[in-house]
Amino acid sequence: MDVVTRYQAERSTKSILVVDDEAVIRDLCAKALKGYRVLQAGDGEEALRLFEKGGIDVILTDVMMPKLNGIELLRRLKELEPTLVVIVMTGYAEKEIILNALKADADDFIAKPLNLLQLKTAVDKAIDKKALKEEIANLRSMDRLKSNFLSLISHKFRTPLTTISLFLQNLAGGVYDPDDPESRRNLELICGQSRYLETLVTELLAFSRFMGADEGVLREPCDLNELVRSLVCSSREAAARPGVTTIFDLDPLPPIPLDREKIAFAIGQVLDNAYKFSRETGTVTLSLKRDDDGYRLTVTDTGVGIPREELPKIFEKFYQVDPDGTGQIRGFGLGLFYAREFVKLHGGTVTVESEPGVGTTLSLFIPPSD
């Protein structure tokens, strides 16, 4: 395959979403972008729905649109995927519009009426920019991984090890009375810390296996209904919140070709977080639906919620939501990162909505396999 043929083949796999309330503009863009896979949306809300299905590389959006304007669409898209490249098309030269777009992290601008050559050149550059942004994000992630790994392990293991060590020192010194209620409470505390260490080691071994794995997706028929219910039953976080009611709204589905291990991990992480950040009482609702586009599992809790500015960070490695500001959140902050990666391997997406004091909704969308 020569260089030109290879370039055309790579370009044809890239998807461009054109968002404009004028069909003639959308069609004009589609004609100018021959060689790319072009999708169209007539407003911002439709664009968000298409984006959630996955596979969009670059978005061209108008500013003035009904339902959801281009600036607000830009903000929401960047929250969902910070490395996404968004080009803003506008016939307005007002400084305020341009400043608002820049503040929302617009990557480029195209003036109306459109110059087709300029449009094509801007999209070609945007594809290169997206690849560069993803590479930079990966390098930064690897750098943080190296610099934070040892300190994170040290921090997570120090407290339980110190607690156990002090108890053993007292025990060696004869400071223990099995009939003393305080001694029994201390012993229960040590048993709890020991179990916590076991959990940390198990999680660490699992994450190390995922970090080194590169086998892709190994699909087999999977019953999502059975899988979701079994994960709830086996969840330690669910067991630790007996006052939280679990509501199942699961449509009956035939077995779906999935990588059971990876999807089970992804769903398990989302479920555990829903219970972990619930209050002593509340509800966790699990909804599993099938439509023409694929399968969607939605997990909604009535817990503490996540501030809006924190939402883009929750899928980063080692990031942990700490609503009380104590720094005592258990785990390594890797669960949601790998959950999203595994869903993406299936061609799907993970989205989140949350409001502090109200609760959080995480949605896992998986398209049908080819």
Residue 208 in this model has a pLDDT that exceeds 80: no
What's the confidence (pLDDT) of residue 325? 52
Task: Summarize the confidence of residues 155-169 as an average pLDDT.
Answer: 75
What's the confidence (pLDDT) of residue 191? 81
**226 token code pair:** 């059975």
What's the confidence (pLDDT) of residue 360? 95
Q: Which residues contact 305 (CB under 8 A, 6 or more apart)?
A: 277, 323, 354, 355, 356, 357, 358, 359, 360
What's the confidence (pLDDT) of residue 4? 38
What's the confidence (pLDDT) of residue 98? 76
Task: Summarize the confidence of residues 348-360 as an average pLDDT.
Answer: 92
What's the confidence (pLDDT) of residue 92? 64
Better pLDDT: 264 or 215: 264
What's the confidence (pLDDT) of residue 9? 46
What's the confidence (pLDDT) of residue 351? 92
Residue 229 in this model has a pLDDT that exceeds 60: yes
What's the confidence (pLDDT) of residue 3? 40
Mean of per-residue pLDDT scores for the chain: 81
Rounded to two decimals, what is the model's pTM?
Answer: 0.52
pLDDT tens profile 67-86? 888 888 988 888 888 878 88
What's the N-to-C CA distance of the chain in angstroms? 26
pLDDT tens profile 262-283? 999 899 989 999 998 899 999 9
